[in-house]
Chains A and B, each alone.
Chain A
């Protein structure tokens, strides 16, 4: 894999060398790497704004105040000395961000919060964020209402990781002029063998059943790699990918228990 973080053209699994988060950590105290570090951190913030906003909203702020607080939080991270203060020795991006957000909201609660809408500090417009990566996450009212803010943060984080992997897979198929393949097969990425009707899919795609089986095998393989790559961008060491995935799976399991 190339050393470019999140390089979408690369495909070799098992070799997540330089990731966005490892780039941020390695450049945290280096003037010469300041620009690259800032760009990598800004990209991570842009990708993971939804868990932040969900957490703030769940803490009871109005939508407008939650937007402003989220913006201010990102400004603090990107314009201040967050990395140095946060002592990222170290931890994953997700856990460090959540801890910082909790502290940020505690401080905000101690102050009379002044809305900055229309002010001179703005990270990026909400409309642009939402248009760029619309979320199609679906949860029951019961699930949402039963989750504490920290759990909702993890669920939104997991959804961001999975949806980005799916979007990259879709884009790869589209670039090859095979969007129809993605549309027909993506619902079967995790299906049991018995749940897949290769005959029906073969008829839909106009290819032999054997081709459907090969396509499904390769799409699953590629999806797994893309998913692990997305997680890799938020941890310092590739060895942490498994733990991070297990943490997020655990959060989802706990969320379903809480919803019952």
Chain B
């Protein structure tokens, strides 16, 4: 397998494993977060945030 172009286009291949202390997988995304934990977060469904929304809060911030 040719890793050169593959690496360029699909992400970074590192020599270290950088294992997540919570789930022990070693795949990270752009913000340095663990891919599996970030996915797992989606399994919690929120109630309608209504006026509590991020958008509204950011607008109100000084």
Contacts and interface: CB of A to CB of B under 8 A. Distances in A.
A253 B30 contact: no
Contacts of A126: 9
Contacts of B19: 256
A231 B27 CA distance: 19
Interface stretch (A84-92, A103-111, A137-145): A137-145
Interface stretch (A32-40, A113-121, A214-222): A214-222
Interface string A127-154: 0001000011111111110000000000
Contact of B10 (A54, A219, A249): A54
Most chain A CB neighbours (cut-off 10 Å) among B12, B14, B31, B48: B31
A140 B62 CA distance: 42
B33 to A, nearest CB: 6
Contacts of A144: 3, 13
Say which size band chain A's interface belongs to.
Answer: 35 or more
A20 interface: no
A227 B62 CA distance: 28
Given A63-B6, A136-B29, A57 B1 contact: yes
Say which size band chain B's interface belongs to.
Answer: 35 or more
Contact of B30 (A163, A176, A181, A241): A163
Given A161-B39, A227-B41, A242-B43, A255 B25 contact: yes
Interface in B1-59: 1-6, 8-19, 22-49, 52-55, 57-59
Contact of B15 (A141, A159, A192, A225): A141
B27 A58 contact: no
Contact of A13 (B15, B46, B59): B46
A223 interface: yes
Contacts of A255: 25, 27
25 contacts: A14-B48, A50-B9, A53-B10, A57-B6, A58-B1, A63-B6, A135-B10, A136-B12, A138-B28, A139-B27, A141-B15, A143-B17, A159-B11, A159-B27, A189-B41, A190-B34, A214-B57, A221-B49, A221-B52, A222-B54, A224-B42, A231-B42, A245-B42, A256-B27, A256-B36
Given A57-B10, A172-B58, A259-B26, 11 more contacts: A13-B48, A62-B2, A63-B4, A136-B12, A138-B14, A155-B35, A178-B61, A190-B33, A218-B53, A221-B46, A231-B42
